[in-house]
């Protein structure tokens, strides 16, 4: 495996997609109308990027494990809100969940990129 243009594109894809989503939210005024931020639109794109980088790095996708993990994250957040707030307010729950999924997906993508580079340099 060597560094190719395709691999570099998938390394930089979250940054590119974030700036593209920023342009879309500002042009369509999504933040003012619906309180949608650029990172809210970037999450599905990062999902696909995680899938592609894992295939290019390990020759198989880690995406099913990633989905299981974000489902467990949702269950954990529901328990967290039920315990600390003594109720689950759906608007707050979904907003907290989606932003947590964004953070987790960015960290997962970053770890995949680091692992990919380590595997490239070790060969």
**Which pLDDT tens digit goes with each residue over 82-109?**
999 999 999 999 999 999 999 999 999 9
Length of the chain: 123
Q: Is 37 exposed, middle or buried (0-12, 13-18, 19+ CB in 10 A)?
A: middle
Percent of the chain at pLDDT > 70 equals 99
123 pLDDT exceeds 80? no
Mean of all residue pLDDT scores within the chain:
93
Cα–Cα distance measured from residue 31 to residue 38, given in angstroms and rounded to the nearest whole number: 8
Query: What is the domain extent for residue 94?
Result: 5-122
Q: Which of 71, 10, 17, 16 is nearest to 41 (CA)?
A: 17
Residue 89, helix vs strand vs coil: coil
Total tally of structural domains belonging to the chain: 1
How is 33-53 classified by DSSP, letter by letter?
A: HH---HHHHHHHHHHHHHHHH
Check: CB of residue 27 under 8 Å from CB of residue 41.
no
């Amino acid at each position: 495996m060597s560094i190719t243009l395709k691999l570099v594109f998938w390394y930089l894809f979250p940054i590119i997609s974030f700036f593209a989503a920023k342009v879309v939210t500002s042009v369509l005024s999504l933040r003012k109308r619906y309180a949608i931020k650029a990172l809210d639109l970037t999450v599905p794109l990062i999902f696909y990027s995680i899938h592609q980088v894992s295939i290019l790095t390990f020759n198989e996708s880690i995406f099913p494990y990633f989905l299981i993990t974000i489902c467990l994250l949702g269950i954990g957040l529901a328990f967290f809100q039920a315990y600390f707030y003594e109720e689950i307010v759906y608007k707050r729950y979904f907003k907290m969940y989606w932003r947590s999924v964004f953070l987790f997906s960015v960290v997962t993508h970053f770890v995949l990129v680091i692992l990919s580079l380590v595997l490239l340099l070790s060969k």
